[in-house]
């Protein structure tokens, strides 16, 4: 009897250990798979689009956009403008794509971040705090948290594990490249700073009041409001400054090797194009245009005097 009892205890303890090991392996595997799933989502949107409100984004043969003719509610359409369909009945901006979901700021609901699938279903609030803008890089959402002194925060793509990244206020999240954020530093006279999101290292790159940072081909483009809102570019270390546009540039976007910008220089107001060196400048249309967003080889924009009309300029013609 005693021997049988000892064998029973052995098998019971062995069974418990085996169950523990199986559960441990299961949870470790689940964690690893979940982490891998969100490791590399690719570009959520272009930097230049994010600087211009990110009212459009392309994914899997569809354009998702804030429809100016319907209170900026979320729609999708084919690149030729057909099959337009409403997805979400809220005003949206800052559209980003990650893992088959459309992330956006709902401006009807306190500027918090939501997501839905590509058919407009499975709508979920991802971040409950209000934010001015956000970006998705790797497995994280980065955003300026208006409810917490406008400091930079991040969370997982499902909204979990929110953490404060640093104590810098009012950073623009648009320009993230290889885990480095390029942004005006509000508390340092809006000079451009390079902020490593992994190590926390901060480096100052210029001495002027700047905004709308965009990195293309290892160049950093920005608007210098200290110099009458002129568009400049420089190397990523702040060297080799080059003037690109005339004064009074209010917004710009870049498609391949062509830069488009809106100039409000008196008597020269209009939408212009030039190359990335600032040469070959061409007036496309006279007037006032905004919301410059690019999709593939097309520039989409709105005439300031006719805000409900979405216009398209196709470079492939």
How far is Cα 277 from Cα 294, in angstroms, rounded to an integer?
20
Per residue in 225-244, pLDDT (tens digit) is: 999 999 999 999 999 999 99
How far is Cα 275 from Cα 139, in angstroms, rounded to an integer?
34
What domains can be seen in the chain, in order of their start residue? Answer: 42-174 (2.120.10.30), 176-242 (2.40.10.480), 244-317 (2.40.10)
Which secondary-structure segment (H or E) carries 51?
helix 47-51
How far is Cα 72 from Cα 91, in angstroms, rounded to an integer?
5
The whole-number pLDDT of residue 16 equals 61
Between the alpha carbon of residue 44 and those of residues 5, 58, 104, 211, the distances in Å are 62, 9, 11, 21
pLDDT, mean over the chain: 90
The whole-number pLDDT of residue 6 equals 52
What is the model's pTM?
Answer: 0.86
Over residues 150-171, the mean pLDDT reads 97
């Amino acid at each position: 009897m005693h021997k049988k009892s000892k064998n029973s205890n052995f098998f019971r303890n062995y069974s418990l250990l085996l169950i523990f090991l199986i559960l441990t392996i299961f949870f470790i595997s689940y964690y690893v798979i979940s982490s891998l799933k969100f490791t590399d989502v690719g570009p959520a949107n272009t930097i230049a689009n994010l600087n211009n409100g990110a009212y459009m984004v392309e994914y899997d043969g569809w354009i998702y956009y804030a429809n100016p003719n319907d209170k900026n509610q979320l729609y999708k359409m084919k690149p030729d403008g057909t099959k337009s369909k409403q997805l979400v009945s809220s005003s949206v901006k800052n559209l980003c794509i990650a893992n088959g979901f459309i992330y956006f700021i709902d401006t009807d609901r306190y500027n918090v971040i939501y997501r839905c699938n590509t058919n407009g279903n499975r709508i979920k609030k991802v971040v409950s705090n209000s934010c001015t803008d956000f970006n998705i890089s790797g497995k994280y959402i980065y955003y300026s948290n208006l409810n917490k002194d406008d400091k930079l925060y991040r969370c997982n793509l499902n909204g979990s594990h929110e953490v404060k990244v640093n104590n810098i206020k009012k950073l623009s999240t648009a320009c993230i490249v290889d885990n480095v954020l390029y942004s005006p530093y509000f508390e340092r006279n809006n000079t451009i700073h390079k902020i490593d999101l992994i190590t926390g290292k901060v480096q100052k790159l210029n001495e002027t009041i700047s905004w709308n940072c965009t990195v293309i081909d290892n160049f950093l483009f920005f608007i210098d409001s200290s110099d009458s809102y002129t568009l400049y570019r420089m190397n990523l270390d702040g060297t080799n400054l080059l003037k690109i546009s005339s004064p009074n540039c209010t917004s710009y976007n870049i498609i391949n090797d062509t830069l488009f910008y809106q100039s409000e220089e008196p008597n020269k107001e209009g939408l212009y194009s030039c190359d990335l060196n600032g040469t070959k400048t061409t007036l496309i249309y006279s007037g006032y245009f905004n919301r410059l967003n690019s999709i593939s080889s097309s520039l989409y924009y709105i005439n300031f005097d006719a805000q409900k009309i979405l216009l398209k300029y196709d470079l492939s013609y």
